[in-house]
Amino acid sequence: MPAKFFICPDNQQIPIESCLTACQSRQRCMFLPTLRAVAKSLHRGITEPTVTELIAGTRETFLKKTMGYAVNPQSVLYALHGSAVHTINENHTEGNMLTEIRLKDEITSGKFDLYGEILDQDSGVLGDIKVTSSYKLMKALGKYKVEIPTGEVYKTGLKKGQPKYKKEWRDDGCRNILDWAIQLNYYRILLQQQGMEVNKMVIQALCRDNSLRIASERGIDQAIYLIAIHPISDHWIQRYMQHKAAALQEALHTGKLPPVCKAKERWHDRKCQAYCQVAEYCPHGQRVKNHLALPLKEVG
Ligand code: SF4
Ligand code: SF4
């Protein structure tokens, strides 16, 4: 079941249909076409679990599929940024390339963004477009800061005689992109099942806050980064997705709440605290929001 309600600025909830028909306030909180676009982005009309739904925590996907949850239109506008960038690309795919085709197998379905001659002469490049934050980019690029000695020492003060250091960025750290890598590798498998060769997988990540100081403090100084994704074994990916699909299927069949999402899936509780749209139906989400002590293990 997709989102059913919008949350108004005064925290009242209203069925999305009713909001689109008539605002319950004196003036709409944003333009009607924008609200329509937000509503459309929430109702994609796909029944089978998609690759991205399976990559998310099973509990989160289960709750999104079974609860008529509410969203604040302000907080889902990022989805529109993503679709706008996709549309810009989609309208310029003349030549040897394919775009936005949904492929299916017996486990799931996924829609790749771009495939073909999109980077060089290689016609087997699978491309994915992301609009993301400088924080996620810093993690995805494996950027971290190190302190290196300047060769000078403090001449006065408490640190007198101690060596001076300066901070420098390195980008050979651990790349935190497993979710992106699983997604692209699954699209690769779906394309290969159709007889298409995939020689390279690349993400074009657009930083949505790149003009802000916080981005440069995170070592992000470009608007767009190309991030190569390495192949993961088909066997591992298919087993992982099969496992996630089976867990979701079982929960939907029995109606039993799946175990709490894994720490990575719930961004170590940051998602539960502020970004999970179904947190109000999740006991763990409620505890995090209420700052109550978390039990060591929750079974459902
Ligand atoms: S336009 Fe905004 S304020 Fe008006 S009903 Fe819809 S969500 Fe609420
Ligand atoms: S609140 Fe956290 S644990 Fe609960 S469904 Fe959302 S992400 Fe998962």
Boundaries of every domain in the chain: 78-236
Gyration radius (Cα) of the chain, Å: 22
Does the beta carbon of 285 lie inside 6 Å of ligand 2?
yes
Under a CB-based contact definition with an 8 Å cutoff, are residues 200 and 226 in contact? no
Under a CB-based contact definition with an 8 Å cutoff, are residues 38 and 76 in contact? yes
Does the beta carbon of 251 lie inside 6 Å of ligand 2?
no
pLDDT tier at 292, thresholds 50, 70, 90: low
Per-residue pLDDT tens digits for 199-235: 999 999 999 998 899 999 999 999 999 999 999 999 9
- Residues in Cβ contact with 39 at an 8 Å cutoff, skipping those fewer than 6 apart: 16, 20
Q: Which of 18, 23, 30, 72 to probe ligand 1 with, by most ligand atoms within 8 A of CB?
A: 23
Indicate which residue's Cα is closest to atom 8 of ligand 1: 8
Predicted local confidence at residue 42, as pLDDT: 86
Does the beta carbon of 206 lie inside 6 Å of ligand 1?
no
In the block, residue with structure tokens 């509780």: 269
Does the beta carbon of 19 lie inside 6 Å of ligand 1?
yes
Query: What average pLDDT is seen over the chain?
Result: 92
Q: Which of 62, 179, 266 to probe ligand 2 with, by most ligand atoms within 8 A of CB?
A: 266
In the block, residue with structure tokens 């605002």: 23
- Please report the atom of ligand 1 found closest to the CA of residue 18: 5
Longest dimension (CA), the chain: 72
Comparing 62-71, 191-200, 252-261, 289-298, the range with the smallest average pLDDT is 289-298
| Residues 139-175 as b or e (16 or more Cβ within 10 Å = b) | bbbebeeeeeeeeeeeeeeeeeeeeeeeeeeeeeeeb
Percentage of the chain beyond pLDDT 90 is: 82
pLDDT tier at 299, thresholds 50, 70, 90: very low
Indicate which residue's Cα is closest to atom 2 of ligand 1: 29
Under a CB-based contact definition with an 8 Å cutoff, are residues 292 and 81 in contact? no
DSSP SS3 for 245: helix
Under a CB-based contact definition with an 8 Å cutoff, are residues 61 and 248 in contact? yes
Percentage of the chain beyond pLDDT 70 is: 97
Give the pair of three-digit tokens for residue 37. 């676009």
